[in-house]
Amino acid sequence: MSKKFSRLLVIAGLVSVLPTLALAMGGKPNNTDEEALNARIQPVAKIKLAPASSANAAVAGSRSGEEIYKAVCAACHATGVAGAPKMGDKAAWAPRLGVGLDVLVKSAKAGKNAMPPKGGSDATDEELARVVVFMANGSGANFK
């Protein structure tokens, strides 16, 4: 193979790879871009989310895990909206439960990918822990 020809081959290779690279970088949604992801699921969140306080008359701080789950978390976790692990789906929860209750509560408080902080609720720390226990125990865990 002549030097000139092999150089041509390299250039042809580059030219054919570049558009694919450009597509991969710019054309596809970037999963780590939380803001974009949140923006995309926002319409869902806006339609489905009702603050727990308006969905029931109980005083903030004293609501049960089940109450808050039904009022807020079920909007996503009952059906698996936006990739939420479904309540009762042991296979979906198993890999998450291993990190332990504290870590789960922390990530629920901070939010994770398509999940907004506290799931968009006004739960207190104690209530949030209660509702995570409720959800996890309904999905194969045995947290106290």
In angstroms, what is the minimal distance from the CB of 17 to ligand HEC? Answer: 31
Minimal distance in Å, beta carbon 122 to ligand HEC? 9
Of 132, 123, 133, nearest to 62 by C-alpha is: 123
Nearer to ligand HEC, 60 or 81 (CB): 81
> Rounded distance, CA 130 to CA 124, Å?
10
Q: Minimal CB distance to ligand HEC: which residue?
A: 119
Q: What is the rounded CA–CA span in Å between residue 93 and residue 84?
A: 10
Query: In terms of residues, how long is the chain?
Result: 144
Site residues for ligand HEC per CB under 6 A: 45, 49, 68, 72-73, 75-77, 81-85, 96, 104, 107-108, 112-116, 118-121, 123, 131-132, 135
